[in-house]
């Protein structure tokens, strides 16, 4: 009986961990007028949705270390965007982890939606059809990074397991000139603008953040 109770408790804990949080009272990552961004460029709100009109990344002025970021996104065919976490240098996108946002696998499991770009694929595909809203909850705490995607945890990474330059733990190469273990643990958060040949739009909404103590 004790084993059964423990197993039920463990299962409940796993299920709970994969739920998206109640974000009531959380801070909006971006102000309604985008005044807390570095340079809003051609980003704008349309009917409450945040959209880009060009390729520029929308960066926060504030830096964030340990946090939970919750948001929704919508893509169409050939949309290509991403969420940059804790950038070490906003002029160099390879100084930040990127959680992929687009409609496909981008030709590689390391580029599919919800992947840590060029470093770790999601454990399963949870993407909804193009034109429907998807939900991410991204947690960063020290070296630990997790992504809950439409109710399923698909990324559970420890950056300390990336000690080598341009190499993933499974031996595959990556593009990063700095080992992910040595990436900044605090920095601005960014939304990538229109990217790729198609320059297809992407939409974000309900972008909320909770700073962890």
> Tell me: the pLDDT tens digits for 130-155?
999 999 999 999 999 999 999 999 99
- State the average pLDDT over residues 39-62: 92
Residue 12's pLDDT is: 35
Helices (H), the chain: 2-17
Per mean pLDDT, which of 3-17, 24-38, 96-110 is the most reliable?
24-38
Topology of domain 2-211 in CATH is: Jelly Rolls (2.60.120)
Calculate mean pLDDT across residues 182-195: 95
Which residues neighbour 81 within 8 Å (Cβ) at sequence distance 6 or greater?
Answer: 52, 73, 75, 101, 102, 191, 192, 193, 194, 195, 202
Closest CA to 49 of 151, 195, 202: 202
pLDDT of residue 108: 78
pLDDT (0 to 100) of residue 2 = 38
Region 46-72: what's the mean pLDDT? Answer: 95
Strands 190-191 and 152-158: unpaired
Is the model's pLDDT at 4 over the cut of 80? no
Alpha-carbon gap, residue 147 to 103, rounded angstroms: 17
Query: Is it the case that residue 15 has pLDDT exceeding 80?
Result: no
Q: Residue 17: what pLDDT?
A: 53
Q: What is the pLDDT of residue 16?
A: 40
Entry pTM: 0.90
pLDDT at 1 over 90: no
User: Where are any strands of DSSP class E within 23-90?
Assistant: 27-28, 43-46, 49-52, 58-59, 67-75, 80-85
Exposure b/e, 143-166, CB count within 10 A at least 16 = b: eebbbbbbeebbbebebeebeeee
pLDDT score at 54: 86
Q: What pLDDT, on a 0 to 100 scale, did the predictor assign at position 41?
A: 83
């Amino acid at each position: 009986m004790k084993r059964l109770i423990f197993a039920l408790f463990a299962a409940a804990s796993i299920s709970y961990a994969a739920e998206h949080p109640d974000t009531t009272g959380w801070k909006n990552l971006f102000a309604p007028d985008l005044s807390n961004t570095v340079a809003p460029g051609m980003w704008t709100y349309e009917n409450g949705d945040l959209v880009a009109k060009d390729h520029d990344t929308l960066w926060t002025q504030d830096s964030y270390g340990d946090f939970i970021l919750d948001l929704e996104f919508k893509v169409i065919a050939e949309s290509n965007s991403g969420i940059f976490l804790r950038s070490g240098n906003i002029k160099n996108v390879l100084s930040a982890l990127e959680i992929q946002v687009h409609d496909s696998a981008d030709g590689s499991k390391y580029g599919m939606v919800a992947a840590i770009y060029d470093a770790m694929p999601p454990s399963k595909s949870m993407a909804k059809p193009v034109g429907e809203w998807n939900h991410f909850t991204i947690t960063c705490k020290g070296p630990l990074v997790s992504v809950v995607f439409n109710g399923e945890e698909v990324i559970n990474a420890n950056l300390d397991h990336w000690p080598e330059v341009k190499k993933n733990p499974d031996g595959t190469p990556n593009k990063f000139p700095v080992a992910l273990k040595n990436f900044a643990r605090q920095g601005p958060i960014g939304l990538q603008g229109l990217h790729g040949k198609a320059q297809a739009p992407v939409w974000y909404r309900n972008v909320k953040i909770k700073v962890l103590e």
